[in-house]
Amino acid sequence: MAFAFSRKTMAGAVVLVTTVSMAIAGCANSDPESASSPSKSSASAAQSSLQPSKSSVAKPTVSSGASIPAGMPSGAVPSGTYGVGAAVTKPNCPEPPSNYSPFQAPGTVVKDIDGLEPGTNHGTAADKYAYPASVVNQWLQKPSTQPKNKKIVFVTFDDGPTTKFTGEQLDNLEKAGARATFFMIAPQIRDVNKNMLTRSLKMGNALAIHSYSHDYKYLYHGSAADKAKHISCDWDWAIAQNRAVLGSDYFSSAFRHPGGHMSWSNLSQSDAALAKRGVSWIDWNAMSGDADVQRPTTVPGYLEMVKKSIKESDNPNVVVILNHDTFGKQMTAEAMPSILSWLKSQGYEFGVIS
């Protein structure tokens, strides 16, 4: 079932088992090569005691804020929105589990990193093609709302940043004249040179959030209220960590759940908690296959997986592709030039998720 990405992605029951297994397997923490990635033990916890729900895919919810007209690129959020522009302080909840040393909030306004447009997760170059996560999410959940007159692809990378693999993907994107959205595990941004983050922003990419802990047990254990409490707390720590490195004006409306929103049940309360913060979850409707336990074993296999998953999603005009830029994802880096080239040949414009 390695390549069985159903045409009813995110809507039909047929796809659920396969998609869920890919989603869970996709996070770098299950990767044997990712020995130094955070929360390594959490994946095994998820696979044993925290089995993802198969029913959660059937009825996804669209977070609030999806009323922005389709096709309208996003603007920056005003200063003051959820701390934008203010001092970076410690969140009002206990620090989520992390393999990193405890995050120390500076308690001051942090100068923005070079390349960041205030109130956004990208640089000004991306204004023309940056779309709020709520809009992209709605496009995925209700394909009838997608733009009719153009094809947009959102290439996404999870579980970074890492100096090696994020750097290689930036090279790939630069050569192709493409851009992507990087869903980062917040504390990992301490491990990379700020120049790489600036380079990414100046190239027109977006830097979004893929949690602080990446810990399935912490995020998804317990009641709906427990999940809401932990996921929102995790996001609070993630945005604080990102603002401490990227600058006080950093904000991203895009949150990708570790394992994928589609993999878990009873998230409506946590979705609402995120929506209160101006945040929407965003999954994917295509993938290179580096998420799969039985991932492609050749570089051409990754491109074939992209083609196949898009086709099986009924060739939508809006495609969000799941990839990873963390430890062990060498083949993703090697495959990306052919994937980007093929996407261009098919007439897709490259967007980013703000």
Applying CB under 5 A, which residues contact Zn ion?
Answer: 27, 158-159, 258
Least distance (Å) between residue 80 CB and Zn ion: 31
Give the CB-nearest residue to Zn ion: 27
Least distance (Å) between residue 324 CB and Zn ion: 7
CA 180 from chain center: how many Å? 10
Q: How far is the C-alpha of 35 from the C-alpha of 30, rounded, in Å? A: 9
Q: Smaller CB distance to Zn ion: residue 14 or 293? A: 293
Q: Smaller CB distance to Zn ion: residue 139 or 284? A: 284
Q: Smaller CB distance to Zn ion: residue 11 or 184? A: 184
Q: Smaller CB distance to Zn ion: residue 158 or 292? A: 158
Q: Around Cβ 32, how many Cβ atoms within 10 Å?
A: 8
Q: Smaller CB distance to Zn ion: residue 158 or 215? A: 158
Write out the two tokens for 310: 């898009």
Nearest Cα residue to 352 out of 70, 78, 77, 121 = 121
Asked whether the beta carbons of 122 and 286 are under 8 A apart, the reply is no
Least distance (Å) between residue 133 CB and Zn ion: 16
Q: Is the peptide bond before 161 cis (omega within 30 degrees of 0)?
A: yes
Q: How far is the C-alpha of 175 from the C-alpha of 164, rounded, in Å? A: 17
Least distance (Å) between residue 259 CB and Zn ion: 7
Least distance (Å) between residue 271 CB and Zn ion: 18
Q: Smaller CB distance to Zn ion: residue 152 or 274? A: 274
Residue 94 neighbours by CB under 8 Å, 6+ apart: 233
Q: How far is the C-alpha of 163 from the C-alpha of 155, rounded, in Å? A: 19
Least distance (Å) between residue 228 CB and Zn ion: 20
Strand partners, 353: 131
Q: How far is the C-alpha of 193 from the C-alpha of 200, rounded, in Å? A: 11
Q: How far is the C-alpha of 280 from the C-alpha of 22, rounded, in Å? A: 22
Q: Smaller CB distance to Zn ion: residue 258 or 278? A: 258
